Amino acid sequence: MKKENENARDSVAAIGIGAMIVFIALILVAAVASAVIIQTGEKLQQNAQQTGSDTQQEIGGKISIITAWVGDQTGGAEKIV
């Protein structure tokens, strides 16, 4: 009688250990996945920042105003050089 009770406890314990192993594996997979997502986000942010800096260097300082006109509704306009 006592032997059957011990066997039942052993099988329940084995199921619990299996569930614990699966749980730990899920935690490890989630940690790896989150690290990959964070690394990808950082890389995208760096690429966007580099693209913005490159664009600013390409465009900045290349536009110059040659002539400007200031006028009002009376039709008078004054040229500003």
Q: 5 or 31, which is more confident?
A: 31
Indicate the range of 19-23, 29-33, 62-66 predicted with least confidence. 62-66
pTM of the model: 0.55
pLDDT tens, residue by residue, 21-30: 999 999 999 9
Number of domains in the chain: 1
What is the extent of the structural domain holding 68? 2-80
The predicted-structure confidence for 43-63, as pLDDT tens digits, reads as follows 999 999 999 999 888 887 777
pLDDT confidence bin for 2, thresholds 50/70/90: low
Residues 42, 43, 46, 52: is their CA dihedral positive or negative?
A: negative
23 neighbors 31 (Cβ within 8 angstroms): no
